[in-house]
Structure 1
Amino acid sequence: MKNIRWGLIFNVFLGVIALGGLVVLMGLISRKDAVQVCTVLKVNVEGKETFIDQHDISRMINNQFGAIVGKELKAIKFEEIENAIEKLPYVSNAEIHADMDGTINVNVHQREVILRVINRDGKEFYVDTKGHKIPVTLKYVPHVLVANGKIQEGYTKPLEPIATKMVHDLIRIVEHIKGDELWENQIVQIFVNEQSDIELIPRVGKEVLVIGSADSLDYKLSRLEMYYKNILPKVGTEAYAKVNVKYGGQIICERREGWYMDSLQMKINMKN
């Protein structure tokens, strides 16, 4: 009797009891899940945009899958609901799960748009952070830059990718000035003229800023910044109709009263 390890036997006995209790508990939970009904449908929509809200998602679910509240959980097609939500053009991804009390939680993440494009035919679409086209809606107008003018790219269906260099250039400009204290506040619109040159429309001043394309963007914006710091204070906001930095090594200022051109040749270096 002295050699019997009673402590070990006691621990094994407790383990067997705990395991048995766990099996019984899981069985009870399984039987409860088999008859548990949805008591509440909770929808949470995340993201900085408000293209859609909780009511839109709840209405879509009920329209496509019938009334969810009161339906047994085992009869609810969770994966199909997720897939249906993610097909909405304003949704990035969706997750759905049920709690033990019958609450169904739906978490929806919206797409973030960075640009609104109005092409030469008047067709409009948004571009999201992943380069997909998003349809315009009257329900919500996000605060993003608008690009219009001679833009050929069209729109046929939601979420199709950007196809032309021009719109890719417009996106590069938007992404470049985002977070820049000067340019994010100063640029209010982007325009593509008849020569297919990109123009920036400033908040302060009446001159149009011509950059041509998004190539060498840092270099072009640095020359425009030089214009604002060194030239504009001397001539005022009424002097020029256009400021062109399309060509390297110079800032071309077109006088408002005629076609006389001021060509300011300069070396772009730290001393200047």
Structure 2
Amino acid sequence: MRKFNWTNIWINVRLVLMFSVVIFLFSFTSKRNSDRKLTKSAVVFLGDDNLFVTHETVNKLLIENNQKAQTIRKDKLDLNKLEKSIDNHHMIEKSQVFVSIDGVLKVVVKQKTPIARVFGENGSFYYDYQGNKMPLSDNFTARVPLVSGEINDKNSKDLNELLRFIFDDAFLKKNIIGIQILPNGSLKMMNRNFNYEIDFGKTINMEKKFNNYKAFFQKAVLDSSLYHYKKINLKFTQQVVCTK
């Protein structure tokens, strides 16, 4: 006759009961959590404090139909829809929307990064790091190079590469304050502290040209000769030609 091991049976029963209780508590907690209304909303901006869009603007985009956060249940929120609504704002590059355990609707915002301000026939606008147009902001004015001349499908890619190169280089970002696009595609640049203009030529070999300019500047600034030049020619990759 087979004997039952009542100890093992009791252990198994206890495990089943424990799992059942855990599942019940989880379901109950999830239900109560989803039925809760939001307590408030909070907006966090990544990067520096230069805000092109305000917290209030993002808060309005967060809640559908501009309702107060306290009137919306957590299970009624469409987070993907909210993110898309925020991402469609012309000053915002990317956002992430989520609800914290304590019922706070949070959004983390990455603003677009302007790398130039363009003056054209259709008015003035920023050119962002991704190569797209970005409108001016009433809240903050970016300190970026001023660009004049025609930007078109033919030169926009190379120009964006050049502007990004300037933006990512600490010396050039501080030194180059203006760029003029000539009808033949050549570029003229203005610097911050001296009266000379930079004849850059076309965008080809730009890294070499900029390296030549930085090496020349570091040497010439020591003897104050930069004050005597009217033009710095960077067209030739093997040398820097200066005109007084």
| Category of TM-score, reference length = shorter chain | 0.7 to 0.9
Counterpart in 1 of 2:205? 216
Higher relative contact order (CA 8 A, sep 6+): 2
Tell me the TM-score normalised to structure 1 length. 0.74
Counterpart in 2 of 1:97? 98
- Give me the whole-angstrom Cα distance separating, in 2, the residues matched to 1:32 and 1:218: 60
Counterpart in 2 of 1:138? 138
- Would the aligned equivalents of 1:47 and 1:112 in 2 still touch at CA under 8 Å? no
Structure 2: gaps (5+ residues): none
Counterpart in 2 of 1:55? 56
Q: Once superposed, what is the RMSD of the aligned Cα atoms?
A: 3.1
Map 1:1-272; keep pairs closer than 5 Å.
4-5=4-5, 8-33=8-33, 35-48=35-48, 49-62=50-63, 64-119=65-120, 121=121, 123-148=123-148, 150-153=149-152, 163-165=153-155, 167-193=156-182, 195-225=184-214, 227-228=216-217, 236-255=225-244
The alignment covers a number of residue pairs equal to 243
- Give me the whole-angstrom Cα distance separating, in 2, the residues matched to 1:196 and 1:183: 21
Counterpart in 2 of 1:259? none
Following TM superposition, by how much is the alpha carbon of 1:16 offset from its aligned partner in structure 2, in angstroms? 0.9
Following TM superposition, by how much is the alpha carbon of 1:52 offset from its aligned partner in structure 2, in angstroms? 1.6
Following TM superposition, by how much is the alpha carbon of 1:118 offset from its aligned partner in structure 2, in angstroms? 1.9
- Would the aligned equivalents of 2:41 and 2:69 in 1 still touch at CA under 8 Å? yes
- Would the aligned equivalents of 1:115 and 1:171 in 2 still touch at CA under 8 Å? no
- Would the aligned equivalents of 2:186 and 2:203 in 1 still touch at CA under 8 Å? no
Structure 1: gaps (5+ residues): 154-162, 256-272
Following TM superposition, by how much is the alpha carbon of 1:98 offset from its aligned partner in structure 2, in angstroms? 2.7
- Give me the whole-angstrom Cα distance separating, in 1, the residues matched to 2:86 and 2:41: 15
What code does the residue aligned with 2:72 have? K
Tell me the TM-score normalised to structure 2 length. 0.81
Percent identity over paired residues: 17
Following TM superposition, by how much is the alpha carbon of 1:18 offset from its aligned partner in structure 2, in angstroms? 1.5
